[in-house]
Amino acid sequence: MDEKNKDPKPITWAILESLAEAVPTGEYRLYSASPQLPSGVPWGGSDCQCVVIAGSAYSGPSITGIPPSMAPNVPVYFWLSFRLGPGVSPPHKVDDCLYYTNRNGLAFSLHSKDSPDHHTGIMSGSGLGPIMYDFNLPSGSSGKISEYRSGGAHLDFEGPFWKSKK
């Protein structure tokens, strides 16, 4: 395997159970504070402003380069963290990772920076397409993945958490 795409990392089932508690399959949720997240769901660090989690099912083809024993099954969870950028002002940065099980029930994580091609392939085959390239806050705090829209909502670090463009 080339250096560009690393193998998924094994994780504990407790993380997947926490993600399942955080969001139903087919939906997304926005958590604006660490205490809102179910125990075990990662927060994005000290400069994190919010986390978006989406749950879906993988039904795409096998991903070239991912060993069959590490290939995704169901469920698949997408975790997206919004952080302050350099200088503590917009533009913001995002950090994203996929969490899933294989056919044998083993749990894995796959970070987009570690495996960009594999990450994109799983996102495309899991119904997470509407949020794959939309790294803006969703227009609502929860909803169906198929209806995910940024809707002009953006992070405003100087004023209220939510602010809509007029």
Model pLDDT, residue 20? 95
66: left (phi over 0), alpha (psi -120 to 50) or beta: beta
Model pLDDT, residue 86? 62
- Residue 117 inside a domain? The answer is yes
- Residue 94 inside a domain? The answer is yes
- Residue 79 inside a domain? The answer is yes
Containing domain of residue 105, as a range? 9-133
Residues 120, 126: Cα–Cα separation, whole Å: 10
Query: What is the dihedral angle through the alpha carbons of 94, 21, 162, 89, rounded to the nearest 10 degrees?
Result: -30
* Chunked mean pLDDT (size 10), the chain, 166 residues: 76 94 94 90 88 90 85 90 66 82 92 87 84 77 87 46 36
Model pLDDT, residue 165? 34
- Residue 66 inside a domain? The answer is yes
- Residue 161 inside a domain? The answer is no
* Structural domain count, the chain: 1
Q: What is the pTM of this model?
A: 0.82
